[in-house]
Amino acid sequence: MPGMNSGINVNDPTVVAAFKTALVHQGIIALLIFALLGFAWITVRAWLPAARAAEGAKGSTSAAAAAEPAWRRLLRIGFGLIWILDGILQAQPKMAIGLPSQVIQPTAASSPHWVQQVVNWAGTTWSYHPMQAGASAVWIQVGIGIWLLAASRGPLSRLAGLVSVGWGFVVWAFGESFGGIFAPGLTWLFGAPGAVLIYMVAGGLIALPERAWRSPRLGRAVLAGLGLFLVGMAVLQAWPGRGFWQGTSHGQPGTLAGMTSAMAQTPQPGFLAGWVNAFTVFDEAHGFGINLFVVVALGLIGAAFLTGRRQVVRPAVIVFAVLCLADWVLIEDFGFLGGLGTDPNSMLPFALLAVGGYLALTPEPAAATEPATTEPATTVAAAAGWRERVRPAALRQSVGTASIQTVAAVGALGLIILGAAPMAAAQASPNADPILAEAIAGSTAPLNFAAKPFQLTDQHGRTVSLASLHGKVVLLTFLDPVCTSDCPLIAQEFRAAGQLLGASDRRVELVAVVANPVYHQVAYTQAFDRQERLTQTPNWLYLTGSVPQLQQVWKDYGIAAQILPAGSMIGHPDIAYVIDQAGKVRTELNTDPGPGTTATKSSFAVLLAGAALNALRSS
Amino acid sequence: MNRPALLTSVLLAAMLAAGCGSAAGQATAPPRPATPPSLATSLATATGTWAVAVMGGSAASHNNFWQLFARPAGTSTWRLATPPGVASNGGLVLTGLRGGSVLAGFRPSQDLAYSPLAITKNNGRTWSPALLDAGLADVPGALAADPASGRLLALLTDGTAEMSGPGGTAWTRLTTRHALATSRAGTRCEPGSLNAAAFSPSGQPMLAAGCGRPGTAGIFSRTGRAWQFTGPALPAAYAHQAITVLRLATTGGTTTALLAAGTGSAAHLLAGWSSDSGAHWKLSPPLPLNGATLTSASSGPGSSLAIILSHRQAAAIISAAGSWRQLPVLPPGTATLAPRPSGGWNALAVHGTQLTIWQAAPGAQSWTREQVIKVPVQFGSSS
């Protein structure tokens, strides 16, 4: 998929170090947010004893009045913990560079073209700013998790559910390619319809008004939906021709055994791989029996959920939980081991949802189901008009009576903003992070020596010497006009660098010298310029000359232009020099563009423009 | 049904449709018209014989390099003669110039969108550059030269035909596929893609195409500023068959055309010869393809033609007076055939970076190994 693979090793030390630094910096800010909020909370409570007393009175009346329904608590805490785990997984050092190419791209590979286009857009967007995107995902997910854990009730808690739905959709659509539901081979065993879709369902439930939780109808609806889904998955699992009925086929593992066999190859503790391998062997021997069991189990469990009757649902939930656990360990291989796992896959969320549905059918203790006689302050405030709520007295009371959970929830919101804000700012910039170019090309070498003079002919047939460019910063490189790979990309990087320079562009010359001893005529520099749309770039010079002239310049600037045999293009290094206004070489840049994605091209352009601006400032 | 159940049903139906849709069968594709053979071909000039083949054996196109081999007249040894300085991953197209010189054109590849040209006057020992500021089409007949005037003709990737002044300078647009199709001559043929370019013995530009109109062989000659339809009149038996002109070349005062007639298992090849710019043609007997596909076509001395079909089959025809003769089963990996000076053919077989040259004398029952060339392919140099 174009744009996604930056060509940088996911373990590249430059990128890993930058990602860690970004996380540490933001982590310190996150701690400061919580520390400041905690300090403010303690201070306000100390200054407002009346409010504290009011809170004490409120607590005594509200605590017993409206306890959170058990199954809501289960979903909130369960999915809160999963979001935090997902956030921690996002902090893996390889994630910043590896997510587009090693997670998103493979997931989308078997999906329809339109899904690939949507996902490719997102992957490319991530690739432009991998540090910001990677850190953003960490803090947003940790923030959602803390928010869900901290805010147990009221509008703040419901808002956490909504945020969970919103961010969940982003992850499900762009990170999981819509959970693979548009790809062939859909099966519950491998995680369909995507773990994050279940997060979204849970988030949607948490966002519902409190009155919805007081009735068992909601729980029955959840179980009915889950039951219908499982029956559908049973039908799909039983569908012939999808390779699930065969343990092996033509000497190759069947669909399920093939999947588990691949999962066992991922780096993980030996005993876990042993379990998965043992299951693979068992499935290869008894593929039909295993699939029959899965089909029957899913069908029966789904049917039991559809009844909505507690006595029937209870054993079904137990069996379902065991089945989920077995699938999670033996087939999904925990979902996040080795490779670049971003979540524990779908079985834990499924089990949580089913257990939650069952708890909804269980009557709550009478005291908890009674309507509160005295509404908590926050609820009262919510019911009041906004003018009432923003009155200083009301605000003082709200702040003074805020619980530690509320403070933590506000801190979590701060975490989400902490993650989202730099990403939003980065997205506003059309230019990629120069860290990509630095990672590909290595660090730049600061220099300070007089540039060797030259006198060559430009693409218009005019004589140009280095002396004639005195007073301008010169970005100098060496390009083969009939090169098929790197040189056109470098030319584009130069063109983009010129555009990035803005008004400073007038004080910078973008200069290339021909690096081909055979195809070096002016006609070729002109053809190259037309090909690369450089004819309208006013400060672009493509210089050439006789072979002896060119050889002298190559020698002066350390360029070896080698004629290679057997249909190869000219071999030459991809180097750029930054020559300042006084004619001194200030920087040498490796401009090898790697795979030449839009992100890396943009990144090199930013690097080149930055080097030119530095030279302008230091001259 | 309550609302949650309805929603889940809709979701379920969508998932089932998505999952089961993958098992659906694919519609049967209609028979495709014949396509020109690959760029692997050979060319005989006054000073030697030339052959083009792709080497490397890699799945990645940027690690497969097209090579040019030359066997100078009077010698029996082939040698590597690929022009230096340009990556040949996109392919090489050849044509003969006057005095035994040869022009090679590099097809575009990766980010190179135009076609550098190279000319040799000494059997490939040295080359001098020339330029076509556009991309050559992916057909072996994309370049042609008029020995008398020195003008060149080129078919481009965008369906345009360009012609140069003497010496390969000052290229100008000659026509486009669309313009040709809407010309008076074109309406007789309804040409699809342009497959080959040539100059007639009298120096008129000629173009070859596949015709949308059945029973018509799409060959056009440029007289003054107008195009004339100069394809051969085919027998009535071809009236309802799709005809595609696959190759067109002029050597020694004769223009030779290779035609495909019919589709699928009924397809066969025809050769045609004209000595008067297409006014009159002689046609060969048909060569049934029996389901095989044409992979390479080469011209030899005396307007002879040799073709390679799939499954290591090959055939050759000497002239209009003769008929197609099956050649011995080809050695594995044979990319193209080239005429031998003493009669018969060489088979150039490629295995990775090794070229093996086999020879079969006229009437021979098998091929014998003649020479092996190891080519120093620079893997990774185009990535």
CA distances from A610 to A127, A200, A433, A505, A506 (A): 20, 43, 12, 12, 15
Angle at B291 between CA B289 and CA B292, to 5 degrees: 65
B261-265 long-range contacts, CB within 8 A, separation 24+:
B261/B234, B261/B286, B263/B31, B263/B32, B263/B33, B263/B34, B264/B31, B264/B291, B265/B289, B265/B290, B265/B291
- Tokens 């070489």, residue located: A585
d(CA B202, CA B41): 25
Mean predicted confidence (pLDDT) in A73-99: 90
Of the candidates A186, A221, A484, the beta carbon closest to that of B382 is on: A484
Burial code of A188-220, b = ≥16 C-beta within 10 A, e = fewer? bbbbbbbbbbbbbbbbebbbeebeebbebebbb
Other CB atoms within 10 Å distance of the CB of residue A162: 13
Residue A55 above 50 pLDDT?
A: yes
Strand partners, A445: A588
Q: What pLDDT was estimated at residue A441? A: 73
Rg (CA), chain A: 31
3-state secondary structure of A527: helix
Burial code of B158-192, b = ≥16 C-beta within 10 A, e = fewer? ebbbbbbeeebeebeebbbbeebbebebbeebbbb
Percentage, residues of chain A above pLDDT 70: 89
Confidence of residue A370 (pLDDT cuts 50, 70, 90): very low
Which comes out higher in pLDDT, residue A387 or B130? B130
Q: What pLDDT was estimated at residue A600? A: 78
Of the candidates A236, A524, A566, the beta carbon closest to that of B131 is on: A524
**Angle in degrees, 0-180, between the axes of helices A270-285 and A310-330, rounded to the nearest 10:** 110
pLDDT tens digits, one per residue of A481-515: 999 988 998 998 898 888 888 888 888 999 999 99
Report cis status (omega within 30 of 0) of the bond before A193. yes
CB contact under 8 A, A482 and B377: no
Distance from CA of B312 to the nearest CA of A (A): 26
Residue B7, amino acid: L
Q: What pLDDT was estimated at residue A369? A: 44
d(CA B206, CA B229): 10
CB contact under 8 A, B378 and A568: yes
Burial code of B62-77, b = ≥16 C-beta within 10 A, e = fewer? bbbbbbbbbbbeeeee
Assembly ipTM? 0.84
Mean predicted confidence (pLDDT) in A259-282: 87
The answer, for B5 touching chain A at a CB cutoff of 8 Å, is yes
Q: What pLDDT was estimated at residue B374? A: 93
d(CA A48, CA A50): 5
pLDDT tens digits, one per residue of A425-463: 877 777 778 877 777 777 776 788 889 999 999 999 999
Q: Are A41 and A406 in contact (CB under 8 A)?
A: no
Q: Are A461 and A565 in contact (CB under 8 A)?
A: no
Which comes out higher in pLDDT, residue A51 or A255? A255
Of the candidates A228, A235, A518, the beta carbon closest to that of B5 is on: A228
Q: Tell me A571's DSSP state.
A: B
Q: What pLDDT was estimated at residue A430? A: 77
* Pairing, β A508-514 against β A473-479: parallel
Mean predicted confidence (pLDDT) in B17-32: 38
Mean predicted confidence (pLDDT) in A239-256: 86
Residues from chain A that touch B55, judged by Cβ atoms under 8 A, are 566
Distance from CA of B164 to the nearest CA of A (A): 15
Write down the number of H helices and E strands in chain A.
26, 10
> A533 to chain B: nearest residue by CA?
B113
Q: Are A343 and A89 in contact (CB under 8 A)?
A: yes
Alpha carbon A297 to chain centroid, angstroms = 35
Question: B93 Cβ partners below 8 Å, 6+ apart?
Answer: B39, B52, B104, B105, B107, B136, B139, B140, B142, B143
Distance from CA of A232 to the nearest CA of B (A): 6
Burial zone of B105 (CB within 10 Å; 0-12 exposed, 13-18 middle, 19+ buried)? buried
Question: A373 Cβ partners below 8 Å, 6+ apart?
Answer: A61, A65
pLDDT tens digits, one per residue of B88-118: 999 999 999 888 899 999 999 988 999 999 9
pLDDT tens digits, one per residue of A150-201: 998 888 899 999 999 999 999 999 888 888 888 888 899 988 899 999 999 9
Mean predicted confidence (pLDDT) in B237-258: 90
pLDDT tens digits, one per residue of A544-599: 999 999 999 999 999 988 898 898 899 888 888 999 988 999 888 888 777 667 77
- Candidates A513, A536, A399; CA nearest to A456 is A513
Q: Tell me B141's DSSP state.
A: B
Q: Give the H/E segment covering residue B260.
A: strand B254-261
- Tokens 């005291």, residue located: A367
Strand partners, A310: none
Q: What pLDDT was estimated at residue A611? A: 86
Which comes out higher in pLDDT, residue A369 or B121? B121
d(CA A172, CA A203): 13
Q: What pLDDT was estimated at residue A379? A: 47
Mutation test of the interface with chain B: which of A568, A574, A601, choosing the one with the most B Cβ atoms within 10 A?
A568
Q: What pLDDT was estimated at residue A224? A: 95
Alpha carbon B198 to chain centroid, angstroms = 12
Residue B334 above 90 pLDDT?
A: yes
Strand partners, B257: B248, B272
Q: Are A452 and A560 in contact (CB under 8 A)?
A: no
d(CA A186, CA A178): 12
> A242 to chain B: nearest residue by CA?
B23
Handedness of CA A404, A410, A416, A422 (dihedral sign): negative
pLDDT tens digits, one per residue of A297-330: 999 999 999 998 999 999 999 999 999 999 999 9
Q: What is the mean pLDDT of chain A?
A: 85
CB contact under 8 A, A519 and B21: no
Beta strands in A13-116 (DSSP E): none
DSSP-assigned states of every residue in A235-276:
HHHH-TTSSSS-SEETTEE-HHHHHHHHHHHSS--HHHHHHH
- Candidates B203, B99, B101; CA nearest to B146 is B203
Query: What length does chain B have?
Result: 383
End-to-end CA distance of chain B: 60
The answer, for B297 touching chain A at a CB cutoff of 8 Å, is no
Contact pairs from chain A to chain B, CB under 8 Å = 149
Mean predicted confidence (pLDDT) in A518-541: 92
Q: What pLDDT was estimated at residue A54? A: 54
Handedness of CA B59, B64, B66, B69 (dihedral sign): negative
pLDDT tens digits, one per residue of B40-63: 999 988 889 999 999 987 666 778
3-state secondary structure of A55: helix
* Pairing, β B268-274 against β B254-261: antiparallel
Residue A47 above 80 pLDDT?
A: no
- Which two three-digit tokens encode residue B2? 């309550």
Mutation test of the interface with chain B: which of A485, A522, A597, choosing the one with the most B Cβ atoms within 10 A?
A485
DSSP-assigned states of every residue in B300-364:
-GGG-EEEEETTTEEEEE--TTS--EEPPPPPTTEEEEEE-TTSSEEEEEEETTEEEEEEE-TT-
Q: Are A168 and A205 in contact (CB under 8 A)?
A: no
Q: What pLDDT was estimated at residue A273? A: 87
CA distances from A80 to A73, A92, A112, A412, B191 (A): 10, 20, 33, 11, 66
Strand partners, B309: B294, B313
Residue B338 above 90 pLDDT?
A: yes
DSSP-assigned states of every residue in B29-40:
PPPPPP----S-
Question: A284 Cβ partners below 8 Å, 6+ apart?
Answer: A247, A248, A253, A254, A257
DSSP-assigned states of every residue in B144-212:
EE-TTT--EEEEBTTSEEEE--GGG-S-EEEEEHHHHHHSTTGGGT-EEEEEEEEE-TTS-EEEEEEES
CB contact under 8 A, A567 and B67: yes
Residues from chain A that touch B23, judged by Cβ atoms under 8 A, are 184, 239, 241-242
Q: What pLDDT was estimated at residue B138? A: 94
